[in-house]
Chain A
Amino acid sequence: MIYAQSPLAIGLFITFVCFVLGLSFYLARRTSSAEGYYAAGGNIHWFTNGVAFAGDYLSAASFLGICGMIATAGYDGWMYSIGYLAGWIVALFLVAEPMKRLGKYTFTDALDSKFNSKSIQLTAAISTLLVSVFYLIPQMVGAGVLVQPLLGLPHWVGVCIVGVVVTIIVATAGMASTTYVQFFKGALLLIMSTVVVVSVLVRGLSTEPVNNGMPYHDFKTMTASSTLELDDPRYTIVAGLDSTFGEAGFIKLAKDGKESIWQLNKADSGYTLEETLYVSEMPDGTKMYNGAEKQDGAFFPVGHIKELRMDGEEVAATGAVGPLAYLSALKDSTIVLWGKKYIMDGANKLTVYYQKPTPGSRVLRPGLKFKVDNATPTQTFNFVSLMLALFCGTAALPHILIRYYTVPSQAAARKSTIVAIASIGFFYILTLFLGMGAMTNGVINLTDNNMSAPLLALSFGVVLFAIISSLAFATVLGTVSGLIVAASGAVAHDLMDNFLGMNMSDAAKVRAGKIAAVVVGCIAIYLGIVFEGMNVSFLVGWAFAVAASANLPAILMLLFWKRTTGKGIAASIMVGLVTSLGLILISPDMWVRYGLLPQDAPISFNSPALISIPASILALVIVSLMTQKDVPMVASETAGA
């Protein structure tokens, strides 16, 4: 699929970058103190902080990844939205106020508030760094994905632009500029996503998608006899039933010297053939899209309704509809989803995308991505474990937790969390309409569904595309800023100042934080380039699982179990980190990335939370009980104290 660069999009992008840089330089004067740099002076208004929470949280994974997943897998993509939002309940009811009361700049401060333990300072800082880096990689990869259609530049340039801009933002003004960048980005994202959803509803549903005036590709169908005599004599068979294509349920045809691949469906008296899309990868890594170069545009965007029903009647278009009527019509209709199969064609590896007409009611319930129908125990374990990681991960993400230190009081921490829940909940409702809109408006790029939301905006014209793409880029900028602040705090405050006991002055702490931000920024740029092509939501899932396993048990047990000791917390963090990372590294998904067969992996599940969270809690309990003499004699600071 190809994109034409829009001068408007480029102009908007440059304007936004200049705006955030100007804001950072303006706010730099507030950051001469450590409080100013790491916690924005602790005087951000709760409403501003709440929207900034949304800005921090609605990362590339939420905006690009979830919309893309809904566009291709329906309700299962929305399960991520539901799980992510549920995680904020943990943050509000259990973590928000105690974190504000116990901590100063980093979440390590809160964990270490009554122990002054070197082991906590070290393990919590390592955990913060690792979770932040795992979260940084998909954001940087997302930046690279976006920059190609937006500016027409290669992946590595996009990664470098984000890395350099964000490092300048953070190194100049720390948490103050990060907060205001997040506020503007969060607010704009909500407003513009609402505009796109309203546009989707006003357009309504149709069996002939409208895509910015471009006609939707007419995917052809033909019939063949049981001996494969085609009803269109212009086509000749290149690879038939006895080939690798035939074994996979396809045949390869040629017409006027151009080859195409067709899906074979058994019919009463022979076969029905349906046109597919395919990508062929040569041994040297060169890729052809539907038998042509990428820029030839032969690989068409997809997504359409086969049979549209509204109020029990079959119709060609619904016209403008309300949100509930929109979902109701989709539920009664038949939507064409796309499956994927791999076929070896000589030395070339082919990825064939074929049509899968699916009832809307099936699309709007779980099971297309997650194996929950007639699932094996392992598949059920995998699903439950993922939902547990999403639920527990939010309240343990370091870049989210440090935002509690930017407000002046515990009540402000609570109120800002509620604003975050309202903003993020509203956005996640919008993701369902954005994803389903992309699914039915002929805009999905099957080779990269991350671009579904911006391409849905493009179907309404280049202006909306320009704004949404710039916002998507801003989404990456904002989230990366927060992560780099969290990581630089872990290095300068937790490791250098506390763990190594360097006793730095206020100015030295700020200087160390800025240097750490530059170093972490460089690492992020490097990793963003190395991990090109990796699924944006994949590593975010890692980050959630690791954070939920390493950080949350320690936070909750510190708050709610009076016998918790410093050594118990350190053990919990290490066991959570090692168990979750270890299980991820030997999971079937990782086996595929090592170039091995997933069935050969030592374990058969991908999501580790259901094992690593209990293991982390168990480690804390056992070690704490063994080290009770270490419990401070002073009154314990528990959640209720």
Chain B
Amino acid sequence: MGHGPAVKLDKDNASAYKTRLGVKMFVAYTIVYAIFVVINATNPKAMESIIMGQTAAVLWGFGLIALALVQAVIYNHLCTKAEANLNS
């Protein structure tokens, strides 16, 4: 059938841990993103309010982009640590 990885992969004992961690972090980000969409859809004027010299909408935008990167770095750190512990 020709499936399976193009290169040989070692067994990954950390796989289950990484999956659970990924789901939790995904849910956390999705909740924040959903709140952002709901505010925009139901009360867009709230996004015009000024916070720290910027509109709330701009801060939400920067915040969502920054949150994605911060979560990604934390996720990688925890996954790398788990791989080192469980695959050694």
Contact = CB atoms under 8 A, between A and B. Distances in A.
Interface residues on B, range: 35 or more
B50 interface: yes
A373 interface: yes
Given A89-B29, A89-B71, A93-B23, A101 B9 contact: yes
Nearest to B45: A373
A415 B76 contact: yes
Given A414-B79, A425-B68, A104 B2 contact: yes
Interface in A77-102: 78-79, 81-82, 85-86, 88-90, 92-94, 97-98, 100-102
Contacts of A39: 6-7
Nearest to A360: B55
Contacts of A331: 50, 53-55, 58
A98 B5 CA distance: 11
A97 B20 CA distance: 13
Given A109-B3, A414-B79, A361 B9 contact: no
B62 A372 contact: no
A580 to B, nearest CB: 19
A100 B55 contact: no
Given A366-B44, A429-B65, A640-B15, A104 B6 contact: yes
Main DSSP-derived SS at the A contact region: helix
B22 A367 contact: no
B64 A85 contact: yes
B72 interface: yes
A391 interface: yes
Interface of A: 35, 38-39, 41-43, 75, 78-79, 81-82, 85-86, 88-90, 92-94, 97-98, 100-105, 109, 112-113, 116, 324, 327-328, 331, 361-362, 364-367, 370, 372-373, 375, 380, 383-384, 387, 391, 405, 408-411, 414-415, 417-418, 421-422, 425, 428-429, 432, 493, 497-498, 560, 639-641
Interface of B: 1-7, 9-10, 12, 15-16, 18-20, 22-23, 25-26, 29-30, 33, 36-37, 40-42, 44-45, 47-48, 50, 53-58, 61-62, 64-66, 68-69, 71-73, 75-76, 79-80, 83
6 nearest interchain CB pairs?
Answer: A42-B7, A93-B22, A93-B26, A365-B57, A640-B19, A365-B47
12 contacts: A35-B7, A42-B5, A86-B33, A97-B15, A102-B5, A104-B5, A113-B4, A365-B47, A365-B48, A366-B47, A409-B10, A493-B2
Given A75-B55, A78-B61, A82-B36, 19 more contacts: A39-B6, A82-B64, A89-B33, A89-B71, A94-B26, A101-B9, A109-B2, A112-B1, A116-B1, A324-B54, A364-B54, A365-B56, A411-B83, A414-B76, A418-B72, A418-B75, A422-B69, A498-B1, A640-B16
